[in-house]
Amino acid sequence: MGNHVTANQVQSRAPRSQQRQAPPVSPAPDAIGGTVSVEIDGKSIKVPFGTTILEAARQAGVRIPTLCYHEDLCVAGVCRVCVVEVEGMRTLQASCAYPITQPIKINTHTRKVRQARRHIIDLLLANHYGECYACGRNNNCELQALAKEYGVDFFRFGHPEKPRFEIDRSSHSVVRDMNKCVLCRRCIRTCIDFQEVGVLEAIGRGDQTRVTTFLEKPLAEVICINCGQCINRCPTGALRANDPTDEVWAAIDDPTKHVIMQTAPSPRAAIAECFGLPAGTPLTFEMNTALRRCGFDKVFDTNFTADLTIIEEGTELLLRLYKALVLGDKTVALPQFTSCSPGWVKFIEHFYPEYLDHLSSAKSPQQMFGALIKTYYAELNNIDPKDIVSVALMPCSAKKFECNRPEMCDSGYKDIDYGLTTRELAKMISEAGIDLPAMPKSDFDDPFGTATGSGVIFGATGGVMESALRCVIEIVTGKKVEEFYDHADIIPVRGFEGIRYVEIPLPEKLGPVIDLLKPLVPNWDWLAGATLKVAVAHGTANARKIMEDIKAGGHFSECHFIEFMACPGGCLGGGGQPIPTSPEIRAARAKAIYAEDSAYQVRKSHENPVIQRIYGEFLTEGPGGHKAHKLLHTHYTPRGKYIS
């Protein structure tokens, strides 16, 4: 039913992260596009022309240590930990930045190489302040691992006796401790090239070089979108999430507080990595048991409000289309943008505020949940909302910022009290002496334990779009989505291409309006034979491409609905997920998410029986009604001020 194209077919310009490659050395014209022979530690292999020594070594099964290098980022070659000997060359070469353009012989672990690496590590430690045991990255720090590997047992060149920089704790999401920075510039490359935000830069020269923000302002006062991608790529403890676990423990230990936890799908597909299991090992139901043993009174499923988001956001889209196409309202903002990624919301606020009215007014599932917990759930269980402590387990550091936005208090209280990352919950579970993989399985608590496969796939790029399409296609056509897509799997919107574009042709004969939407539209005749145009983008560098295209009146300005996620791969690649991260790790997490979706009996949001119940009992005016809009929506004024 759908046709799609990828970003390469829409826009040919390569991202800057692919443009910043080291120039070839003495290229042989006849070798370009061919292969080159290379000998690494006595092992001969052939590699494509231009392959770096590091890449060739990995193909040969030879390990070369790295620090500034990261699979997601452009080449920097600044740390020199990966140096090797190239026969015939006087100096050692950085293997991550040396392209192979002619046959060469390489030695990766000679005495000269080992000594150079040891001295580099010694020099890095000479400027690295702090004790490892008191660092949040203890036992998961790349500098610490290198020091162990190269036998560093004393500070050859001394060690800082006191910190040089004040720790920046201004942000709700990210804490910066530049005393632990090793100037690898991964954070800079992440922010400028990978996400195209540009908060961080290196200033100064020599031993005065430091990574900082514009005018050295605190993070809370610059254009940081709180995505936390810099944290996921920092090799040390220089960047970390703002951790509220002490406050959460205090709430659990307070007998007057009723502490609930909601868990998003992406952490459940990733937390196993914190306990030594392979990426993509799901521990959803083991985690429920662990949370109860930690002391949480109730454990709920964020997928429930992901289903609710689809109903509210999908209804909003249909109403926008009806007003524009039938009523001729030229003030309707199309395409409609998704609004469940707080990093993306912050991005559009900073860089494209003139398009804020294109954002869906629907809150994120996290914030919808918070509003319902302190209203509907509190009434249902006769609990004073002031005694409820609402905690959200999210893959995202930006969710910490989102729950602290002053407008997120439509319940009459702070809707979500604390946001925890996957890493922080893993730490809490370990602190409680719990071996998570060994836990027995248990289900979520009622009434928010019933969700669908559509809620689960919110965790992957394209998941919000797929969930919305499953719902909208059935509501509008009156037919099962399986008649258009096998097993309701809308494959064209899935995948890790930066941008995907899909056209969904609707049939000439459409179904009746369901009871829930009868007060809003009389029929679907105005959509008969129409083509719904949608797009998906993950990572704000790709979001920028779409927004610039829309500004220019290009291809994407013709879309009706666009899903934006701030993080690579969507939520499964969020800034609060386990470290390290890589394309392969994110793909494994996605596989776990889609496997969980396929295991659900109910896979469409509008078929969730508890969703139907909440509209019957609590949100009685239906989607977009007065109470639903008060609790589940926000909107922007023409000047871009975010209000409820």
* Residues with a known catalytic role: 313, 316, 340, 360, 399, 402, 407, 571
CA distances to 244, 401, 556 from 11, rounded to whole Å, are 42, 33, 11
CA-closest candidate to residue 607, choices 485, 519, 480, 518 = 480
> Quick one: which of 462, 464, 542, 490 has its CA closest to 7?
542
Is 187 in contact with 177 (CB distance < 8 Å)?
Answer: no
Q: Looking at this protein, which amino acid is placed at residue 166?
A: E
197 near 185, Cβ under 8 Å? Answer: no
> Do residues 565 and 538 make contact, with C-beta atoms less than 8 angstroms apart?
yes
Inter-residue contact 542 to 10 (CB < 8 Å):
no
3-state SS class at 436: helix
CA of residue 42 relative to chain centroid, distance: 42
Residue 532 Cα distances to 403, 458, 522, 535, 633, angstroms: 33, 20, 20, 10, 24
Question: Which candidate, 475, 458, 491, places its Cα nearest to that of 524?
Answer: 475
**Reduced 3-state DSSP string for 332-379:** CCCCEECCCCHHHHHHHHHHCHHHHHHECCECCHHHHHHHHHHHHHHH
Phi, psi of 282 (to 5 degrees): -80, 135
First vs last C-alpha separation in the chain: 38
Both structure tokens of 611:
């969703």
Distance separating alpha carbons of residues 380 and 214, to the nearest angstrom: 49
- Mapped onto helix, strand or coil, the DSSP state of residue 288 is helix
Nearest partner of 261 among 68, 424, 131, judged by Cα: 424
Contact 275, 437 (CB under 8 A): yes
To which residue do tokens 């047992």 refer?
Answer: 153
Output the six-digit token pair for 287.
């985690």
Contact 369, 312 (CB under 8 A): no
C-alpha 375/C-alpha 368 separation (Å) is: 11
Q: At what angle do helices 284-294 and 422-431 cross, to 10 degrees?
A: 60
Kindly report the backbone phi and psi dihedral angles of residue 338, in degrees, each rounded to the nearest multiple of 5, phi listed first.
Answer: -65, 155
Paired with 46 in beta bridges are 37
